[in-house]
Amino acid sequence: MATTTPTTTPAAPASATPAPGGPGATADGADRPATSRRRRQRPGPATVVKWVVLGLAALVMLVPLYIMVINAFKPQDAIISSPLAITPDTFSLEYLQAALTSEKFNVVKAYGITLLFVALVNVCGIALAAPVAYVIARGRSKWHLGLLLLFVSGLFIPGQVTLIPVVFVLRVLGLINTIPGFILFETAATLPVTIFLFSAYLRTVPREIDEAAALDGASKIRAFWSCVFPIMRPVVATIVVLNSISVWNDFVSPQIILGPGSGIYTVTTGVYAAVGEFSTDYTTVFPTLLLAVTPAILFFVLMQRHIIGGLVAGATKG
CA dihedral over 282, 287, 292, 298, signed as positive or negative: positive
**What is the distance between the alpha carbons of residues 316 and 318, in angstroms, rounded to a whole number?**
6
Per this entry, what is the length of the chain?
Answer: 318
Element (DSSP H or E) covering residue 203: none
State the chain's mean pLDDT as an integer: 82
Q: Are 154 and 145 in contact (CB under 8 A)?
A: no
Domain assignment of residue 275, yes or no: yes
Q: Which residues contact 94 (CB under 8 A, 6 or more apart)?
A: none
pLDDT for residue 292 is more than 80: yes
Helices 233-249 + 107-138 axis angle, to 10: 140
Q: Which residues contact 18 (CB under 8 A, 6 or more apart)?
A: 25
**What is the distance between the alpha carbons of residues 303 and 238, in angstroms, rounded to a whole number?**
8
Number of folded domains that form the chain: 1
Domain assignment of residue 4, yes or no: no
**What is the distance between the alpha carbons of residues 78 and 75, in angstroms, rounded to a whole number?**
5
Tell me how far the alpha carbon of residue 20 is from its chain's centroid. Answer: 54
Q: pLDDT, tens digit, for every residue of 104-148?
A: 778 888 899 999 999 999 999 999 999 999 999 988 888 988 999
CATH number for the domain harbouring residue 219? 1.10.3720.10
What is the band of 43 on the pLDDT scale with cuts at 50, 70, 90? confident
Q: Are 115 and 245 in contact (CB under 8 A)?
A: no
Domain assignment of residue 263, yes or no: yes
Q: pLDDT, tens digit, for every residue of 139-182?
A: 888 898 899 999 988 888 887 788 889 999 999 999 999 999 99
Q: pLDDT, tens digit, for every residue of 228-255?
A: 999 999 899 999 999 999 999 999 899 8
Structural domain span for residue 114? 106-313
Domain assignment of residue 99, yes or no: no
Domain assignment of residue 223, yes or no: yes
Q: Are 112 and 120 in contact (CB under 8 A)?
A: no
Q: Are 19 and 27 in contact (CB under 8 A)?
A: yes
Whole-number pLDDT of residue 277: 62
Mean per-residue pLDDT, 32-45: 61
Domain assignment of residue 178, yes or no: yes
Bridge partners for 31 per DSSP: 25
Q: Which residues contact 269 (CB under 8 A, 6 or more apart)?
A: 251, 254, 255, 258, 260
pLDDT for residue 23 is more than 70: no
Q: The whole model's pTM is what? A: 0.77
Domain assignment of residue 130, yes or no: yes
Whole-number pLDDT of residue 168: 92
Domain assignment of residue 52, yes or no: no
Q: How many CB atoms lie within 10 A of CB 254?
A: 25
Whole-number pLDDT of residue 164: 86
**What is the distance between the alpha carbons of residues 205 and 137, in angstroms, rounded to a whole number?**
9
